[in-house]
Amino acid sequence: MRTLLITAFAAAAVFAASHTSDACTRVVYKGPNNTVITARSMDFSIEIPANHWIFPRGIERNGEVGKNSLRWKSRYGSLAVSSWDMATTDGMNEKGLSANLLWLTASEYPEFDPDGDRKGMSVSLWAQYALDNFATVEEAVREFEKEAFAIVTDFIPGTDKFTTVHLSLSDATGDNAIFEYIGGKLVIHHDPDYTVMTNDPPYAEQRAIAKYWQGIPGKVFLPGSVTPSDRFVRASFFINAVPQTDNTRVAVASAFSVIRNVSVPYGFEIEGYPNLSTTRWRSVADHKNRVYYFETALTPNVFWTDLRKIDFAESSGVRKLDLSDNRTYAGECSAEFVAAKAFKFQGL
């Protein structure tokens, strides 16, 4: 117990010493009869516009890192959430695979030689690559294990933020995986039980924190700060404490209630700690019913898109739901998407 305590608080200290990251949480709800729901909060120190995009099957893409870019054609259509219309940070595809990018300060990506033999892909496309190509987490793990390409990163344009993220995937079977680059090497954490993650520290240390807190009853005491380690503990407790049901309305409400509980109040800041950041938006992906819910901090409503109502045929074209200027939507919004030219992913 003493060793676990030291490990947990050492991990928290590592986080507290890192002042350049931004905070997020992702949690997976599992109810009976294949009820699987992934919720995430996007916490960031600056506004992060999040337009929604419908991408059909058959889109030709490249890794946006020059002549040595990885190239592929999308197998599956998807609903993608963009950041500044230069990257996909979240979304769900027509098969029910969900992808979420969260900040991870400790990320160190492999070296990339633009003239070498190994293909490269901008980190802005990492989540979209998964949505384009895989129906399940297992498929994605098998492909990523090959390390056939290098993830290439850079500063977010117009900021001093060097992009360092890890990727989580969840699917309709309830499977989960977290992909991190530590010391230039890909580390894959693959287990259906890996239902909770935050941004820092690396996932192995998050699991150590979770193991320590398993010995402390959540009904007696839960840590209440906005640090990733505390949010991890609260999310882990509450996702199992809320009703476990196949009633979709109750299950979605439960997932929303947990992700709201671990969100950061709007405008919150501590001088010297920009990594403890306002929650800008929240998403909830219902894998079983293929419905993607969304809310932002500055608009009053939850809205959602039923992917079963979307035509993902190659000929259907790219469509956009514009969330700029705090545009407000309510209810099911599949009919609100309009034809648009796809944004260009940020690369080198």
Q: What tens-digit pLDDT sequence spans the chain (348 residues)?
A: 333 333 333 333 333 333 444 579 999 999 999 999 999 999 888 888 899 999 999 999 999 999 999 999 999 999 999 999 999 999 999 999 999 999 888 899 988 998 898 999 999 999 999 999 999 999 999 999 999 999 998 777 776 777 889 999 999 999 999 999 999 999 999 999 999 999 888 999 888 887 877 777 766 778 888 888 899 999 999 999 999 999 999 999 999 999 999 999 998 876 666 556 899 999 999 999 999 999 999 999 999 999 999 999 999 999 999 999 999 999 999 999 999 999 999 987
The domain over range 2-339 is classified in CATH as 3.90.1170.40: no
Query: Using an 8 Å Cβ cutoff, are 80 and 90 in contact?
Result: yes
CA-to-CA separations, 191 to 13, 178, 310, 343, in angstroms, rounded: 27, 9, 31, 34
Q: Where are the beta strands (DSSP E) in the chain?
A: 24-31, 35-43, 52-55, 60-62, 71-73, 78-82, 88-93, 98-103, 119-122, 149-152, 165-170, 176-182, 185-190, 196-198, 279-286, 291-296, 303-306, 319-321, 331-332, 338-339
Q: How many CB atoms lie within 10 A of CB 39?
A: 27
| Predicted local confidence at residue 272, as pLDDT | 62
| Predicted local confidence at residue 138, as pLDDT | 98
Quick one: how many helices (H) and strands (E) in the chain? 6, 20
Is 333 catalytic? The answer is: no
Q: How many CB atoms lie within 10 A of CB 7?
A: 15
| Predicted local confidence at residue 246, as pLDDT | 97
Single out the catalytic residue among 24, 127, 140, 321: 24
Dist CA 246 CA 305 (whole Å): 20
Query: Using an 8 Å Cβ cutoff, are 286 and 293 in contact?
Result: yes
Dist CA 304 CA 294 (whole Å): 6
The pair of structure tokens assigned to 309 is 């109502």
3-class DSSP assignment, residue 342:
coil
| Predicted local confidence at residue 166, as pLDDT | 93
| Predicted local confidence at residue 14, as pLDDT | 34
| Predicted local confidence at residue 268, as pLDDT | 82
